[in-house]
Amino acid sequence: MRQYADNVYRFVLKNIRHEADAEDIVQNSFEILWKKHEEVNFEKAKSYLFMVARNNMIDQIRKRKRAGIADDESKADRMVTNEYTGASEALDYALRQLPAKQREVILLRDYEGYSYREIGEITGLSESQVKVYIFRARRALQKILVKPENVL
Amino acid sequence: MTTINKNNIEAWLLDYSEGQLNEQELALLEAFLAENPEYRQWLSDFEPVYLPEEESIVFKKKETLLKPAASGRILRFSFVFPRLMAAAALLAAIALLWPRFQNQKINPEMRASLASPEIRLPGTPHAGKEHTLRGQEEKNKKNESIPRHETPGLANRTTLPETKENEQEKEKGREAPFHAEPLQKGMIASIAQNPGYYRYSEIPGWYGSTPVAMKHTLPVQNEERTPANLMESLLRSEMARAFIPETLEEDLPQADIQNNDGGPVVYLKLPPAGKKIIDKFLNR
């Protein structure tokens, strides 16, 4: 459970970049998993958790948009572009530039090690679509990171 | 993937870069690239970036996934059931000594054991209030054909007797102590004949479309979750509650219910294997 909590939290935080919201989403996802625990295969619990967290995350993003809440992080990103000081920061910055779907699938692939089929189950995409998004994400990351101003 | 087109070429290129294509698929890709040379450039330029391991981001509030929320509403997934069933092990002794308690011949040591923090049970029950899981009202209506109170002796089990003592307690502004009736063989036999989810108190609850369970929480002590433990914990908790009615521990891991203003509720599934426990109990 502790490991899953870290994994889900990292996935959500990397996507929405709002700690409090990410914590709420993790807690809510575990609550839902608990309620559905009899319906969820134990071996699929982690995938189910990610799926629930992702749905919660999308709802949260929509709510924030409807409420007109400014994306402070995005503003901050725009302001501090190129101010990162290491490879990790550079990669983090590049990740934030990706469209949401590309970011989701590449996080699930690289951080969590899910197969393309499993990522498809979590995100509701076909395996082929997942591969397309991952290819685009890797290509985009490559382009962002090799821009002259981003070369460390 | 059997065909290549402009909608899925990126998937093919990804597979190629990861060495996932067989000879036949490589031939297909080569043919496609010959007809669409712009994608050959994509492939030659492609230097995939992989995200490094990220261990620095951790969820700092893991304890909130384990403990009851401040509202008293128990929310968090904490593998409660395996631990919940652990209660059975400790409560087993209570069940075995039940007849002795019933005769008020309680061994002082056992009384001390019951009162120990290891066997903490919820306090007074909440009589007469209709509890249902949120969102289950419609199902409740649809399932009205499912008989309720089908077990003799259960329907009024948690109703407080109208004694002078209770009236006095109520006047003091707190709930009267719980007075459980002794377990009856008929009641237990009925449970045995109806394995599956079982509504334990007069408070109806629903798990899906099935009436369930218990009105109170159980302490959790070990990692076992077996059918036997499920049944034992149900039986024994009621027995223990009769004798240590006022012990209530808020910080025990508990299961959740939506309408839990009367206190958290544990839903226990009573599997067929639980019948053995009952039979053993009855034949003892």
Q: Let me know whether B225 and B136 are in one domain.
A: yes
pLDDT-above-90 percentage for chain B: 11
* Cβ neighbours of A113 in B, within 8 Å: none
The verdict on residue B124 lying in a domain is yes
The verdict on residue B240 lying in a domain is yes
Total domains in chain B come to 2
Q: Let me know whether B44 and B87 are in one domain.
A: no
The verdict on residue B71 lying in a domain is no
Distance (Å, rounded) from C-alpha B63 to C-alpha B251? 11
On whether ipTM exceeds 0.85, the answer is no
What pLDDT is recorded for position B50? Answer: 86
- Give yes or no for residue B182 having a pLDDT over 50: no
* Cβ neighbours of A2 in B, within 8 Å: 62
Q: Let me know whether B49 and B157 are in one domain.
A: no
Query: Residue B196's domain spans which residues?
Result: 79-283
Q: Let me know whether B90 and B42 are in one domain.
A: no
* Least confident window among B51-60, B74-83, B198-207: B198-207
Distance (Å, rounded) from C-alpha B93 to C-alpha B12? 64
Between chains, do A111 and B54 touch, taking CB under 8 Å as contact? yes
Q: Let me know whether B34 and B122 are in one domain.
A: no
Q: Let me know whether B24 and B147 are in one domain.
A: no
Taking an 8 Å Cβ-Cβ cutoff, which residues of chain B contact chain A?
1, 7-8, 10-11, 13-15, 42, 46-54, 57-62, 64-65, 75-81, 207, 255-256, 269
- The phi and psi torsions of B9 (rounded to 5 degrees) equal -60, -35
The verdict on residue B72 lying in a domain is no
Give me the residues paired with residue B207 across strands. B210
Q: Let me know whether B51 and B162 are in one domain.
A: no
3-state secondary structure A59-113: HHHHHHHHCCCCCHHHHHHHHHCCCCCCHHHHHHHHHHHCCHHHHHHHHHHHCCC
The verdict on residue B70 lying in a domain is no
**Mean pLDDT of the region A65-89:** 55
Q: For residue A131, give the nearest of B15, B53, B256 by CB distance.
A: B15
3-state secondary structure chain B: CCCCCCCCHHHHHHHHHCCCCCHHHHHHHHHHHHHCHHHHHHHHHCCCCCCCCCCCCCCCCHHHHCCCCCCCCCCCCCCHHHHHCHHHHHHHHHHHCHHHHHCCCCCHHHHHHHHCHHHCCCCCCCCCCCCCCCCCHHHHHHCCCCCCCCCCCCCCCCCCCCCHHHHHHHHCCCCCCCCCCCCCHHHHHHHHHCCEECECCCCCEEECCEEEECCCCCCCCCCCCCHHHHHHHHHHHHHHHHHCCCCCCCCCCCCCCCCCCCCCCCCCEECCCHHHHHHHHHHC
CA distance B90 to chain A (A): 25
User: For the segment A103-152, what is each residue's pLDDT rounded down to a tens digit?
Assistant: 999 999 998 889 999 999 999 999 999 999 999 999 999 888 876 555 54
Q: Let me know whether B30 and B101 are in one domain.
A: no
Q: Is A124 left (phi over 0), alpha (psi -120 to 50) or beta?
A: left
* Cβ neighbours of B14 in A, within 8 Å: 131-132, 134-135, 138
The verdict on residue B74 lying in a domain is no
> Which of the four pLDDT bands, split at 50, 70 and 90, describes residue B36?
very high
Enter the tokens of residue A15. 């996507």
What pLDDT is recorded for position B134? Answer: 31
Q: Let me know whether B96 and B233 are in one domain.
A: yes
The verdict on residue B4 lying in a domain is yes
Q: Let me know whether B137 and B241 are in one domain.
A: yes
Between chains, do A138 and B49 touch, taking CB under 8 Å as contact? yes
Between chains, do A107 and B75 touch, taking CB under 8 Å as contact? no
* Least confident window among A105-109, A146-150, B66-70, B170-174: B170-174
Domains of chain A (ranges; CATH) run 1-69 (1.10.1740), 73-152 (1.10.10.10)
Q: Let me know whether B16 and B149 are in one domain.
A: no
Q: Let me know whether B23 and B52 are in one domain.
A: yes
* Cβ neighbours of B47 in A, within 8 Å: 142
